[in-house]
Amino acid sequence: MTANSAFSRLEDLGKRLEALEHAMSMLSVDEAVMMPTGGGEKRAEAMSVLAGMYHEIATAPEVGDWLAAAGGEPLDDMQQAAIREQQRVYTNMTCLSADFVRRQVNARRRSEQLWRELRAKDDWAGFLPAFEGVVAIAREEAELRAKALGLEPYDAMMEQYDPGNRSADINPVFAALKAFLKDFVPQAVAHQEEKRARRPLKPLNAPFAIEKQKTLGLAIMEALGFDFEHGRLDVSHHPFCGGVPTDVRMTTRYTTSDFLSSLMGIIHETGHGLYEQNLPKEWSHFAVGKARGMAIHESQSLFLEKQVGRSPEFWEWAMPLIAEHLGPEAIAGWELDDLLAHVHEVKTGLIRVDADEATYPLHVILRYEIEKGLIEGTIAPRDVPEEWHGRMSEYLGLPTRDNYKDGPMQDVHWPSGAFGYFPSYTLGAMTAAQLWSALERDHPDAREDMRNGRFVAINDWRREKIWSQASRYSTPELLKRATGEKLNPEYFEEHLKRRYLGEP
């Protein structure tokens, strides 16, 4: 590449965008971890100006020219993939007019503000007009995206989060999983009751000092492969994994009454962190060098939290660490099964974010069905509570009529205009199970490794199959290359049956 090639112009552009992303990402971390409240107003102003500059630079008309010209330059495979992915991002960013984005920002702001106020009051009727506004604008957005991308409207919305995911592929997968779970959940609950009749659930021996919990969390992060030369663990109200690949900022939240909630959160976020830390550094200034999307990102955190961090083999290794860091009295007299009873609890409930891995997909499938209907116009905003109530009753046996705040008003996603995001959670959970199965096939000692706190071979496999691939392939293609087949819900179902019904 010469210094004046279109490709090298795109590299320069990428470095400017990377610097702005770096700034915005670190400012967000600082806001959650360090910023005093009075700094919020100016911080929001700065973030908004930086985001505007980012958009201006990324969507400039000459960028489209460079992308077109780069296609005619002599590029190797990876460079070609970089241009393809950059073009995809450019199209997604430029398919909405500035005028539309202004209307969208207003509708979303109004709806999210009202939601924050009215959710607590359980006031659906008061919220409905703003919700209708945000759905109308989302439909319009879906049409604009669909036209630019040559996709169905709902697929065009999902394309922002998981490139290549199509509802034609997801529908049968979710249908099969739903059918499975409607029977499975009651069985798992019954199985759990039998076990508890024989072995009552032991309460945690609280309090657990926060400093001790922190050393336990750090020890487990380190064993799992988190690189503290390129990242750290802090505290924030909502745990997250942020920062940049060379400096990953994870947070947790401690409570002295329970060490498991923070610890499982740390393991989850470590999954996100490992993905970011192991992306290919030489491509960090191009879209192709970034994490693939929400479903794959969630698959990496759920791989670590659900497949690894809630497995019996993991706890064979980790139980002694609890005694070591929290003191022997923390779980005095506990056997492995006493601990597993805590991390394998199944319990139906109204709230998605509190759900366990067995019931969570039903919360997601319900939202997928409704939001798809909202975008396609087959469900009207005003009918959402009834649609919700019907599905919650059918899928989880929990009616929600007249309970809006624990029903369709519980999540920020729709009020803020994010439609097409929900499926990522469950696609991530299924992907994690499928990846674990493929890993065990390639590396039969994987469970033995966990028993001994060895994660190097497991991470090597994940680095090769997922982390180093970054955004080179679409979401479905990445999964197929890593596991040899397309998304198959059976791996997740087998995983659940093994864990919650005691099947071999």
Q: Which parts of this chain interact with a second copy (CB under 8 A)?
A: 15-16, 18-20, 22-24, 26-27, 30, 33-39, 41-43, 45-47, 49-50, 53, 227-232, 234, 243-244, 246-247, 249, 284
Instruction: Give me the helices (H) in 278-409, please.
Output: 294-302, 312-326, 336-343, 360-376, 384-396
Least distance in Å: CB of 233 to a second copy? 11
Instruction: Find, among 493, 360, 492, 354, the residue nearest to 422 by Cα.
Output: 360
Torsion of Cα atoms, 342 then 347 then 352 then 353, to 10°: -20
Nearer to a second copy, 18 or 258 (CB): 18
Least distance in Å: CB of 19 to a second copy? 4
Least distance in Å: CB of 171 to a second copy? 42
Nearer to a second copy, 34 or 175 (CB): 34
Least distance in Å: CB of 288 to a second copy? 18
Nearer to a second copy, 31 or 73 (CB): 31
Nearer to a second copy, 35 or 350 (CB): 35
Indicate the SS3 state at residue 331: helix
Residues 6+ apart with CB under 8 A from 95: 144, 145, 147, 148, 149
Least distance in Å: CB of 239 to a second copy? 17
Residue 269 falls in the annotated catalytic set: yes
CA distance 109 to 325: 45
CA distance 73 to 316: 55
Nearer to a second copy, 278 or 348 (CB): 278
**What does residue 17 show for φ and ψ, rounded to 5 degrees?**
-65, -40
Q: Which of 159, 269, 276, 298 is catalytic?
A: 269
CB 209, CB 217: distance < 8 Å: no
Q: How far apart are the first and last CA of the chain?
A: 56
Burial of 261 per CB tally in 10 Å (0-12, 13-18, 19+): middle
CA distance 151 to 455: 41
Nearer to a second copy, 217 or 417 (CB): 217
Least distance in Å: CB of 243 to a second copy? 8
Residue positions annotated with a catalytic role: 269
